């Protein structure tokens, strides 16, 4: 019997190009309760806490602001029970569209395109 193995996304594997130096990168706080997240997860910032969570398709009570995507997680994290600080891509970058991971509520082409447009507004372009 063959064992099934799930390989997680490699850190920053989704990144095509970024600005010189580390200008495209920023350390962000992933909010406790977000669970185990893989590199390439599209994030939004909760207005009340300034912490990031996977960006849902629409407004979620208690997570206002996060429905607008503004960053991509650079490294996998486990934010199940504690906040985690991690490097993310926040601007001036090109990313590989097929490697982006979206919140489960982003479940059709229209919602996905909306997230990609939100990222583009912070100069993260998906290819």
> Alpha helices of 1-127 — where are they, by DSSP H?
109-121
Partnered with residue 78 across adjacent β-strands are: 36
**Among residues 120, 18, 5, which one has the least CA distance to residue 69?**
120
- pLDDT band for 16, please (50, 70, 90 cuts): very high
Q: Which CATH number does the domain housing residue 97 bear? A: 2.40.300.10
> What total number of domains does the chain contain?
1
Q: Name the percent of the chain lying above pLDDT 90.
A: 91
Q: Flag whether 56 is in a domain.
A: yes
Task: Say which DSSP state 98 is in.
Answer: G
Task: Give pLDDT, residue 4.
Answer: 74
How far apart are alpha carbons 16 and 11 in whole angstroms? 13
Instruction: Give the model confidence (pLDDT) of 20-58 as tens digits.
Output: 989 999 999 999 999 999 999 999 999 999 999 999 999
124 CA to centre of own chain: 11
Q: Record the pTM.
A: 0.94
Domain that holds residue 37: 15-126
C-alpha distances in Å from residue 6, one per residue of 3, 9, 16, 34, 35: 10, 10, 24, 20, 17
How far apart are alpha carbons 113 and 103 in whole angstroms? 13
**What's the rounded mean pLDDT across residues 2-14?**
82
Q: Flag whether 4 is in a domain.
A: no
Q: Flag whether 2 is in a domain.
A: no
């Amino acid at each position: 019997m063959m064992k099934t193995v799930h390989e997680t996304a490699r850190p920053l594997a989704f990144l095509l190009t970024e600005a010189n130096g580390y200008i495209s990168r920023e350390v962000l706080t992933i909010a406790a309760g977000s669970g185990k997240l893989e590199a390439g997860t599209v994030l939004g910032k909760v207005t009340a806490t300034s912490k990031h969570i996977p960006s849902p398709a629409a407004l979620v009570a208690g997570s206002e602001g996060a429905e607008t995507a503004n960053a991509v997680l650079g490294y996998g994290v486990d934010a199940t029970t504690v906040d985690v600080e991690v490097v993310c891509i926040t601007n001036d970058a090109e990313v590989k569209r097929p490697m982006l991971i979206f919140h489960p509520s982003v479940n059709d082409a229209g919602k996905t395109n909306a997230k990609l447009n939100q990222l583009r507004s912070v100069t993260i372009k998906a290819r």
